[in-house]
Amino acid sequence: MSEVEVGEELLFVGLKVLDVATWIAGPVAGTILADYGADVIKVEQPGAGDAYRNYWRTPTIPQAPANYPWLTDARNKRSLSLNLRDPEAKAILLDLVRQADVYITNQPMPMRRAFGLTYEELAPVNGRLIYASISAYGESGPDAGREAFDGVAWWTRSGLADLVRAPGALPGGSVPGMGDHPTAVSLYAAIVTALLRRERTGKGSHVHTNLMHNGIWSNACLASSAFVDGVDFAPLRAEKSPAVSRELYETADGRLLQLFMVRTQAELDGVLIAAEGFDILNDARFATAEARASHTVEFIQELRGLIGQRTAAEWLATFREARAPVNLVAEITDFADDIQLQAAGVISPPSDPAVGARFVINQPLNIDGMPRVGALPAPECGQHTNEILREMGLSPERISQLRAKGAV
């Protein structure tokens, strides 16, 4: 991954994208296109705009002076405010559709039909248009018209919530955007595939994905069992035997260490040697693999006591030096000091200090030699309305008239 330099051309320069969507899954597909140079126009209701703009004020998430979800997910776009209930505003959108390459929407189907913005209605306007649709449960079927966020359609409908819980406990909730962001990558992939098809055939496409499908795809390792005759689901509900590598171990400063990648007896011995856990190694109850298997609970208790004697930083330094595969359970407060995030291109400084954050999280597509735009400020609602309308040939007087009547 590299930011664009003088003389380099971004892949999607000249690609015109209309983001007629809200929240995350649909709009972030447009953000990825914008990162690679597409001109992405976010179409919003005048005044309020996308409700996601206000999510940062939710009291249950980290409080900050900058609108960090919005600056991450809406960067590198221009905002056009259109009141689609006004016929003149609708006419402006249709003019933009005639020029567009991609149209992204997650509007509920009744709203699309009411505004005349379904694929069937826009395809005749522009036969080369890639109409990209996001929904909760798909484009057809008894649940096609139902609305849901990813915490429902991606997390609970997919079976993930049911599977990710401690024995005897109720399922936990998903974190914000947990299913939306990977679903946005799926929609981006569909768009780019359709653009390649259009390059070869000259034809536009209706592409779509949904939160439920992406959740079940994420759960495919286990969900696939539902479609095999004679499958026995009892192991899913059976009480699991304790396993050393599946447990978490608390350090002296209250952090948790994970041994998930400690998969062999030799690796476990290496962890104990690095930790100077010689009393455990010499204990007859744990002398062999068979003995450890018979005393797993006791072994875990002894290991917990050992790990609790030092801080996480001390243990991580020890295990890293010994090349023992022990990992820290990360907290988001760790990220600002995690040098691996920047080294791996997970985060990078914004191109404009007005963005309001020292680093911005990048979308996870890394293509060597393919530059991307550094993060620019996410737009204010309607910030570029005059600019876009002037590009369309509207005079200042005409724009003033549209503003006066509330069309833009």
Q: What is the 3-state secondary structure (H, E, C) of 146-186?
A: CCCCHHHHCCCCCCHHHHCCCCCCCCCCCCCCCCHHHHHHH
Question: Residue 132: what pLDDT?
Answer: 98
Which of the 8 DSSP states describes residue 63? -
Quote the distance between the C-alpha of residue 359 and its chain's center: 17
The CA distances from residue 63 to 29, 52, 236, 329, in Å, are 26, 15, 39, 22
CA angle at residue 154 from 49 to 160, to 5 degrees? 150
Contact between 303 and 279 (Cβ < 8 Å): no
Which amino acid does the sequence have at 68? Y
Rounded CA gap, 180 and 349, in Å?
Answer: 24
- 298 in the Ramachandran plot: left (φ > 0), alpha (ψ -120 to 50) or beta? alpha
Half-sphere exposure of 79 (CA within 13 A, CB side): 20
Question: Residue 59: what pLDDT?
Answer: 94
Residue recorded with tokens 């608390």: 250
The CA distances from residue 8 to 196, 237, 373, 376, 377, in Å, are 22, 55, 11, 18, 22
Quote the distance between the C-alpha of residue 64 and its chain's center: 21
Sort 245 into a burial class: Cβ within 10 Å, 0-12 / 13-18 / 19+: middle
Which amino acid does the sequence have at 6? V
Q: Please name the CATH architecture into which domain 244-334 falls.
A: 2-Layer Sandwich (3.30)
Rounded CA gap, 269 and 217, in Å?
Answer: 37
Rounded to a whole number, what is the largest CA-CA distance in the chain?
90
CA angle at residue 199 from 118 to 14, to 5 degrees? 80
Secondary structure element (H or E) that encloses residue 292, with its range:
helix 289-294
Pairing of β 205-210 and β 347-348: unpaired
Both tokens of 271, joined, read 């962890």
Which amino acid does the sequence have at 372? R
Residues 6+ apart with CB under 8 A from 39: 14, 15, 16, 17, 78
Secondary structure element (H or E) that encloses residue 360, with its range:
strand 360-361
pTM: 0.91
Question: Residue 263: what pLDDT?
Answer: 84
Residues in the chain: 408
Question: Residue 287: what pLDDT?
Answer: 86
What residue ranges do the domains of the chain occupy?
2-220+345-404, 244-334
Contact between 215 and 139 (Cβ < 8 Å): no
Please list the pLDDT of the chain residue by residue as tens digits (408 residues).
Answer: 445 444 468 999 999 999 999 999 999 999 999 999 999 999 999 998 999 999 999 999 999 999 999 999 999 999 999 999 999 999 999 999 999 999 999 999 999 999 999 999 999 999 999 999 999 999 999 999 899 999 999 999 999 999 998 878 899 999 999 999 999 999 999 999 999 999 999 999 999 999 999 999 999 999 999 999 999 998 888 888 888 998 999 999 999 999 998 888 889 999 999 999 999 999 999 988 888 889 999 999 999 999 999 999 999 999 999 999 999 999 999 999 999 999 999 999 999 989 989 999 999 999 988 999 999 999 999 999 999 999 999 999 999 999 999 999
Rounded CA gap, 308 and 253, in Å?
Answer: 8
> Residue 294's CB: how many other CB atoms inside 10 A?
13
Q: Please name the CATH architecture into which domain 2-220+345-404 falls.
A: 3-Layer(aba) Sandwich (3.40)
Rounded CA gap, 274 and 277, in Å?
Answer: 8
Question: Residue 3: what pLDDT?
Answer: 54
Secondary structure element (H or E) that encloses residue 278, with its range:
helix 278-281
Which of 355, 300, 289, 329 lies closest to 65, judged by CA?
Answer: 355
Contact between 273 and 281 (Cβ < 8 Å): yes
